Structure 1
């Protein structure tokens, strides 16, 4: 993918905002929310592959990921 680290971080932030807004409107288990979450996971993976050295921007994304983890509720699957 032709992104540099800064562009990927911008995309991560945008996707995170879309995902959180969708979760607020439609719920955390809604198909759209889950899809945005998966897209966010992919962007984070791409960022981690692209960026190998620690720095300020990596600390910012770690903080964002931590915020997501604290914001999302635990999802329990009911097996019937």
Structure 2
């Protein structure tokens, strides 16, 4: 699998960051959610899975960029 950096809201591209894969999925890089109470709210966590906290602004910015890129590619 190959990753393509999509962006970050952190300084100098540090985490959390989002990547697109060549398999059509998204990878999230960030610090593992350590708050025990919040982790207790997670549902159906499988072996090998973890949770990463991502700022809402990062998701909306990347979504805007991806949608804009798709519109440009279709012109």
- Normalised to the residue count of structure 2, the TM-score between the two structures is 0.35
Whichever of the two has the greater Rg, that structure is 2
Which structure's relative contact order is higher, taking Cα pairs within 8 Å and 6+ residues apart? 1
Q: Which has the higher helix share?
A: 1
